[in-house]
Amino acid sequence: MNNLIKENTAGNMEVQGEVAVFTFSGSGHNTFATWKMNEIAETLENLDTSSIRAVIITAGEGRSFGVGGDFHEVNTFKGSDEVDKWIAACVRMYTSVLALSVPVIAALDGYSIGIG
C-alpha cells in the first residue's frame, strides 16, 4: 500500500510498506537550487521514522539523480550572501540525511555529478 505523505515542488515522499521513498519531481536533469535543497531537507527533517525501516531517494524515471548545482541560479549571485545561503542549504540537505535514524539508500539511475 502506497501512502503519499509529503508532496512539494522538489519531490514526493511516499511510504511503501516499511520504506519511505522520496522521488525528485520534474523532468530532465536534477539540478540543486537553494529552494530545492531546503525543501528536501524540510521533507526529511519532518519524516516520522517510527514506522519505517529505511528511506530510498531516487531521481524518478528518465531523470539523472543529480547533476550538481543549478547554474541558472548561481549565475545570478552578486555576492557572498547568496553563496552563503546556497552553501547553508546544501549543508542542511546533507545533514537532514545524516540525521535520519534509519538507513538511507540512494537509488541511482543515470548521472550523479557534483552534489548528486
pLDDT digit string, tens, across residues 15-66:
999 999 999 887 677 888 999 999 999 999 999 999 999 999 998 777 788 7
Sheet containing 104-107: give its strands across: 2-7, 11-16, 19-24, 54-58, 104-107
Is 13 within 8 Å of 52 (Cβ atoms)? no
User: Would you tell me how many other CB atoms lie within 10 Å of the CB of residue 108?
Assistant: 14
Distance CA 16, CA 88 (A): 31
Closest CA to 93 of 82, 81, 101, 85: 85
In this prediction the pTM is: 0.87
pLDDT score of 7 more than 70: no
